[in-house]
Structure 1
């Protein structure tokens, strides 16, 4: 049996989408590892060139694979063959071969913000071959003495290594969903379901959990040779293993006890404890083996059967987190039911996107046509909101005022030709909180996203003042990625987030939930606290055609925050969105 192709899974729609991003990532990772090994520079360059070429393709993965990746610039026959193998098996041979040549600790150094392959090679050659040894070397002074590092770099890497150490046992949501989907495919016919943190849509995942209607021997038969370290746990209805280094746990039950397994395996710690305590109050016992009265197993094929016996409401899986449970009964009950929560199909606008004008890989028209093609089932079709970087983001080929005016002319011409577009920009918030374009130019845009991309080390007070000034600007529509965090790589910059969100509420500024699975910023916990006082935008921040589908991860975060379509401006049709921005500006 082959492994499934690289995929992304949308738990709301149940759709599994083949994704070019997985292939691009494998090519780039392979090039980086070649750099670490210090060999075959021409091969590393070939992988990077192929990755850039794939990123710029307008066609979906299925079409490219159907012609076996032929006729793609910079993708030679050998790389094309490896890509086909990846699509068919889920394994990119060159990457697997390179990873086998490097110690796991050296591979973990890629999690440290500010470390590229050449610096990782230098560290490895100096005997620094893990996150722990990196942190120790920063503490004892060895790192600052290495060529190319220095005292300031050592201090920065010390903090980054400490952050990476704390998060090294977790994985990005999109990666964990891909792995969970692979395991579910292997268990076809055994009613596999995503469970645990995946089912609850946490922003990062520690263990890929699933449930199945099966016995331990059935699971072992399916998974031996396909997962690493597969074993049945003695005394528990549980099978464990690892896939691409991430722990996998599969709970199994009979059909009669499946509901109890799903309930106990899928909830957060406080939810599970409360469920078991409630069962005890009623003279019952609840575990993954089933709901029992004494020795008698009560038939609970579905979670709803268990909840009926417990006299509990059926909470959406997203609400079974500790943060929800501690809200208390009344506040939890006041959150919208599952059927009212935002869905991918509710979205009409894919805002805050990047094109070849700055650091994107596709033209504005290609991005807009892809948004139109995706559609998500929304009546009236999807439209694209441009959002290329402003001039201060010089590293990203940001647009100065002259180039933005040129881009605006292109957008207006495309709009006149019927291309579904609104004109925006991602405008840098400068150090003093002013914006990177003059007001007369900002006023010509249909909407404005303001974001921090520099001066992360300002004091909390100055950072907060800076953001409050920016969100209070009369032409600001949306605050982009409000805390600047990069999941598993970089924490938020210091700021008083509550004060900034208070300013957004006072001025009517929309707050972004950046849908990139590497950001998911604003955090869903903050969105849950502020759900009744703010409007939100689920923004892709897409730099590639494939990145537009990342909106699904933002929707998952929004659902955890209890958001409904009316609270998210992306659900507005194009004219209604433009009216919203006009009203927002008039009321300031």
Structure 2
């Protein structure tokens, strides 16, 4: 079923769908939202909550507690299943469209817009612009958003793919299940969930019977397919002596597989999911390393098996399978290198837990295992009024609380996520920014600026003498909206020139900056893997950010939050000392005029 996050998600979705159905008064929807917020703010793990049947939790009444207890035992949240059955499946897909909430989705449903395709059509034929509450401008924006949603509707977020992969592995226990395909390579979204096992089609289908939809063994191929909650699943199976060959063929992107097979052909062999053969003789390849040795190829970390990596190195045969110049798998960043959990939110703005609760959870997680974990606060600034952003007066009050908590022994550094305004200036005055231990600057509005203005805006912000980290640089939301238009290369060049750290936002819904850009700039920039956590549970999202960093071939030395708290404070001090107040204006001038 998943952990506490799955419960929170089910509660929120139930509330949304009640609004779509037009529940009178909204009482049930508010009750489910309140319960979701309470669960988000807890640090207690799911088994303990379930053991006490969810009793004693604020805003979780006896009825919802009983429903959650059933959910844990059965894997089905009955209120959600009941409500979903009352809404056409196509209407449910409208939640993927940026700019649509429950009330607007209900209005569209009433108007006969019941799917992503019909939304796109209504936006193009003028019907949408004529609907009350929409208009021409809204129709144009929703047309683009619907097109984006249509292109991505068959994919799922990385964390969902990982969760589904864990469920599949549990069902296939005993057949040595291993992740393959996009899941193994750590792509930011997953279109097909692939695993490999040691076994037969009969064993796989028996293990998955009743658990996957459309379950079938593919004739002529060592493959069982199906769907898990709408996500395509492929399970490759092999005998023990051929397991390495199927791991190799399932373990890379299409170009990598083509090149490896070309290598086999060059050597008079044939590589497929059924094994590595020389003529009619199948070679013994129980592991991937055995298959690679037979082919005379280097082992490439799964994260590197993409076109972007293969373009970096060519072997003597011209196949591009050496990935020259990138660190070995054992040298890449891991979660256990991280100490600082930066860019986090609390109840001061739109978070679900207090600063003390967030800091306590950071200390408990202690990913590095050396007792030096710390939390960097990062609540929204005043311009983010929708997120209860802090004006200057409230930030000073928060700073006072942070300093008191620091004196009490909590491992904290004081920061803020400061809005980058339309002209590239920051939402707090410099004298207040200077009081913070570090500063994250991010864009949360003005997405429709031209590429030129957006680029100038971010260059100016990235060049500000008091900014530490440029937050989620493109503003994308995976599967929901693309990033705003800008020249990201020019912005990253400004970060390089000013020593500004670039964020890899670890929220599974962002994963921004994209690994492809981080890979290209890995030798020129310093990065931060930031959680953007709005609850204690969100701190664990840092693992998704680490996956992105590994695809970008980053090592611990290139990640600023591997530093201890004292080292981080010294990093910021030196960063500020190398800049002058005029730096930002000079950078904008140079980047936009080419001087």
TM-score bracket, normalised by the shorter chain, equals over 0.9
- The one of 10, 13, 20 equivalent to 1:36 is 20
Counterpart CA distance in 2 for 1:582 and 1:61 is: 41
Q: Is the 8 A contact 2:17 2:83 kept in 1?
A: yes
Residue aligning to 1:26: 10
Residue aligning to 2:312: 327
Is 1:61 matched up with 2:46?
A: yes
Aligned to 1:241, the other structure's residue is in SS state strand
Aligned to 1:164, the other structure's residue is in SS state helix
Instruction: Please report how far the alpha carbon of residue 540 of structure 1 lies from its aligned counterpart in structure 2 after TM superposition.
Output: 0.3
Aligned to 1:313, the other structure's residue is in SS state coil
Counterpart CA distance in 1 for 2:43 and 2:206 is: 41
Q: Is the 8 A contact 2:312 2:324 kept in 1?
A: no
Counterpart CA distance in 2 for 1:397 and 1:497 is: 29
Residue aligning to 1:12: none
Residue aligning to 2:116: 131
Residue aligning to 1:80: 65
Instruction: Please report how far the alpha carbon of residue 71 of structure 1 lies from its aligned counterpart in structure 2 after TM superposition.
Output: 0.9
Residue aligning to 2:586: none
Is 1:167 matched up with 2:152?
A: yes
Instruction: Please report how far the alpha carbon of residue 424 of structure 1 lies from its aligned counterpart in structure 2 after TM superposition.
Output: 0.4
Counterpart CA distance in 1 for 2:175 and 2:542 is: 30
Residue aligning to 2:75: 90
Counterpart CA distance in 2 for 1:99 and 1:244 is: 13
Q: Is the 8 A contact 1:380 1:573 kept in 2?
A: no
Question: Structure 1: which 4+ aligned runs deviate by more than 4 Å?
Answer: none
Alpha-carbon RMSD across the aligned residues, in angstroms, is 1.2
Counterpart CA distance in 2 for 1:103 and 1:224 is: 27
Which sits farther off after the overlay, 457-466 or 326-335? 326-335
Is 1:447 matched up with 2:432?
A: no
Counterpart CA distance in 1 for 2:524 and 2:538 is: 29
- Written as runs of structure 1 = structure 2, the 5 A alignment for 1:266-285 is 266-285=251-270
Instruction: Please report how far the alpha carbon of residue 98 of structure 1 lies from its aligned counterpart in structure 2 after TM superposition.
Output: 2.4
- The one of 390, 396, 406 equivalent to 1:415 is 406
Counterpart CA distance in 2 for 1:276 and 1:567 is: 35
- Written as runs of structure 1 = structure 2, the 5 A alignment for 1:11-410 is 19-39=3-23, 41-329=26-314, 332-410=323-401
Counterpart CA distance in 1 for 2:500 and 2:485 is: 21
Instruction: Please report how far the alpha carbon of residue 328 of structure 1 lies from its aligned counterpart in structure 2 after TM superposition.
Output: 3.0
Instruction: Please report how far the alpha carbon of residue 50 of structure 1 lies from its aligned counterpart in structure 2 after TM superposition.
Output: 1.1
Unpaired runs of at least 5, structure 2? 316-321, 580-595
Unpaired runs of at least 5, structure 1? 7-18
Aligned to 1:436, the other structure's residue is in SS state coil
Counterpart CA distance in 2 for 1:136 and 1:514 is: 34
Counterpart CA distance in 2 for 1:82 and 1:289 is: 47
Q: Is the 8 A contact 1:278 1:310 kept in 2?
A: yes
Aligned to 2:206, the other structure's residue is in SS state helix
Counterpart CA distance in 2 for 1:441 and 1:498 is: 30
Instruction: Please report how far the alpha carbon of residue 229 of structure 1 lies from its aligned counterpart in structure 2 after TM superposition.
Output: 1.0
Which sits farther off after the overlay, 63-72 or 426-435? 63-72
Residue aligning to 1:480: 471
Q: Is the 8 A contact 1:138 1:158 kept in 2?
A: yes
Instruction: Please report how far the alpha carbon of residue 39 of structure 1 lies from its aligned counterpart in structure 2 after TM superposition.
Output: 3.6
Q: Is the 8 A contact 2:372 2:565 kept in 1?
A: no
Residue aligning to 1:508: 499
Provide Cα deviations, 1:210-230, integer angstroms capped at 9, x if missing partner: 111111111111111111111
Instruction: Please report how far the alpha carbon of residue 46 of structure 1 lies from its aligned counterpart in structure 2 after TM superposition.
Output: 2.0
Residue aligning to 1:499: 490
Q: Is the 8 A contact 1:347 1:378 kept in 2?
A: no
Instruction: Please report how far the alpha carbon of residue 43 of structure 1 lies from its aligned counterpart in structure 2 after TM superposition.
Output: 2.4
Counterpart CA distance in 2 for 1:291 and 1:86 is: 46
Normalization by structure 2: what TM-score? Answer: 0.95
Counterpart CA distance in 2 for 1:505 and 1:339 is: 27
Counterpart CA distance in 1 for 2:542 and 2:240 is: 35
Q: Is the 8 A contact 2:41 2:352 kept in 1?
A: yes
Residue aligning to 2:521: 530
Residues 1:413 and 1:80: Cα distance change in structure 2 (over 3 Å)? same
Aligned residues: 572
- The one of 461, 473, 479 equivalent to 1:470 is 461
Which sits farther off after the overlay, 553-562 or 240-249? 240-249
Aligned to 2:324, the other structure's residue is in SS state helix
Residues 1:492 and 1:132: Cα distance change in structure 2 (over 3 Å)? same
Aligned to 2:445, the other structure's residue is in SS state coil
Residue aligning to 1:10: none
